[in-house]
Amino acid sequence: MPFAAAVNRHADEHPHSPAFQIEGRVFTYGELQRLAGQLVAAFDELAGSTLHRSVLGNRSRLIALEAGNHPLFAAAFLAATSNGHCVALIDPHLPASTREAMRDRLSPDLVISANGAGLSLQAPASGEMRSLRETDGNERAPLAAGAGTEPFLIVFTSGTTGTPKAIIRDRGSWRRSLATSERFFGIDSETRTFAPGPLAHGLTLYALAETLVAGAEFIGTAHFDARSLRLIEAGAVKRLVLVPTMLRRLCAAAGGNPCASVTQITVAGSKLTTGDRADAAIAFPAAAVIEYYGASELGFISVASQNDTASATAVGRAFPGVTLSIRNDTGDEVPAGETGTIFVDSTLVSDGYVGDADGAGFRRLGRLATVGDLGFLDEDGTLHLLGRAGGMVLSGGNNIYPQEVETTLTAHPGVHAAVVLGLDHPDLGSELVAVIEPEGSAFDREALGRHLAAHLPRYKHPRRLWLCRKMPMTRSGKVAAGLLRQWISDENDGLERID
């Protein structure tokens, strides 16, 4: 069902049911519909008579949403995707120069940003601005669903040059994806969901959309920390959607005191270890843990339950409706067990990039599409992910995929998190190094060496190791690998050289 149509139906049938909660403020479906309608009316007043100036031209009005995890985000997102609009998500915590470059590339018709408890609306073409607060009683417009072929959403992903790439998706692909995930994950009006990541990023944004389409309550937070466990317990949350690092923090915060309300944990972004699953079973004993591997450009790719991830590289089998194919450099399919580029045949694939990209990432081969990830398929159809072509390290003539080494490191019980990097080396070309956050205060280097020897050939072992007692994190809950690389260069005190 179209996103706006679903929210309209829930607002009509149960207007007082909670829809969106953040920082203690709960918005009902009726309030969400009212606020979104006010925003749509304001959009028309600000830019209604102005010719479309964005990269989309006359295809759609493009609205940049730069509000972050704000109490009015859900209403703004609903308004900016209704009535034929297309929304572009920009994380307000990115550097100002990066955000300016994003806006310059898109040239949006309208920009929405946070303004204290309210929102600021700006029409760049005219310079006219307007503010909207939750308590405003402005005129409102009805929320209408657009056609399936219309542009609906633009999100940004990292580029190889450091400049984010804009990915555009039409309404039809999201509607198909939401319908598929609702059936697969069993989401209904009782599936109260907690997703603590940034709403400008794909994982959390999608969790918000699928929760609202189902008529359930979505709970977010402005800033994630271990105290978020209280929100889960107080709200009797049934489903968590997060990255592995966040799950580890919640399990540690539980301290052996189980949370019984959670029945499902959905994880993406990187692979869980056996230890992660064991910890989750203690902290959330009633929860089924589901991992999926996907990409903003491709949608869902594969999905794994506990029995599908025995190997350090296994990421499960094809998501429902997705066909996987491994291809070599000439585009020919390779046999099971042979490494190549992962392609998908799926109706969930995006329309690609807006404007110029960096020549890497998303590309098509007939009906197939890829983002350049490398892996292989087992005889039974299990997909193994080895890394992204651009991330491969060539060391001493050997091709090494850091993700494979990272998953092996984190499978060791003494390792809480790990980042593997390739650093320039005068003899080897690149030298493989690792930064490790240990599990607990003690660290047994010899035990780690035995673990590596049992699982990886010698040339894949990091040649240098550092301990980091607390990894620096990005807002999306992932380890800040770029900052760690800088710390190594600067000999930062946050790292302790052990090898």
Among left, alpha and beta (phi > 0; psi -120 to 50; other), residue 448 is alpha
d(CA 311, CA 489): 33
Lowest mean pLDDT among 66-70, 298-302, 309-313, 388-392: 388-392
d(CA 79, CA 93): 22
Please say whether the dihedral angle defined by the alpha carbons of residues 325, 327, 332 and 335, taken in this order, is positive or negative.
negative
d(CA 16, CA 228): 25
Q: DSSP label at 59?
A: G
What are the Cα distances from residue 176, in Å, to 2, 13, 293? Answer: 10, 24, 18
Lowest mean pLDDT among 72-81, 136-145, 389-398, 474-483: 389-398
Largest CA distance in the chain: 70
Q: Decide which of 306 and 8 is more confident.
A: 8
For residue 160, pLDDT beyond 50: no
Q: What is the pTM of this model?
A: 0.82
CB 221 within 8 A of CB 227: no
For residue 307, pLDDT beyond 80: no
CB 218 within 8 A of CB 191: no
CB 412 within 8 A of CB 462: no
Residue 278's identity, in one-letter code, is A
Q: What is the pLDDT of residues 46-68, one digit of tens each?
A: 886 666 688 898 888 999 999 99
Among left, alpha and beta (phi > 0; psi -120 to 50; other), residue 239 is beta
45: number of Cβ within 10 Å: 16
What are the Cα distances from residue 212, in Å, to 7, 35, 179, 216, 432? Answer: 7, 15, 12, 6, 44
d(CA 18, CA 413): 41
48: number of Cβ within 10 Å: 10
Q: What is the DSSP secondary-structure string of 116-168?
A: TTEEEEEETTTTEEEEE-TT------------TTSEEEEEEE--TTSSPEEEE
Torsion of CA 129, 133, 138, 140, to 10 degrees: 90
CB 434 within 8 A of CB 421: yes
β-pairing, 323-327 with 340-345?
Answer: antiparallel
Question: Strand, helix or coil at 352?
Answer: coil
For a pLDDT cut of 70, what percent of the chain falls above it? 94
Model pLDDT, residue 161: 47
Q: What is the pLDDT of residues 168-215, one digit of tens each?
A: 999 999 999 999 999 999 999 999 999 998 999 889 999 999 999 999
State phi, psi for 298 to the nearest 5 degrees: -110, -15
d(CA 197, CA 208): 11
CB 319 within 8 A of CB 303: yes
Question: Is residue 364 exposed (0-12), middle (13-18) or buried (19+ Cβ within 10 Å)?
Answer: exposed
CB 85 within 8 A of CB 130: no
Least Cα distance to 477 among 249, 264, 279, 296 occurs for: 249
Task: Give CA 431 to chain center in angstroms.
Answer: 30
State phi, psi for 375 to the nearest 5 degrees: 180, -165
Model pLDDT, residue 255: 86
What are the Cα distances from residue 476, in Å, to 48, 93, 202, 298, 398? Answer: 35, 11, 10, 19, 32
Model pLDDT, residue 163: 65
Lowest mean pLDDT among 20-24, 401-405, 491-495: 401-405
For residue 306, pLDDT beyond 80: no
In 213-371, at which residue ranges do the beta strands (DSSP E only) sit?
218-220, 239-242, 264-267, 288-295, 299-304, 317-318, 323-327, 340-345, 363-365, 368-370
Query: What's the residue count for the chain?
Result: 499
Model pLDDT, residue 53: 80
pLDDT band at 356 (very low <50, low <70, confident <90, very high): low
d(CA 383, CA 293): 10
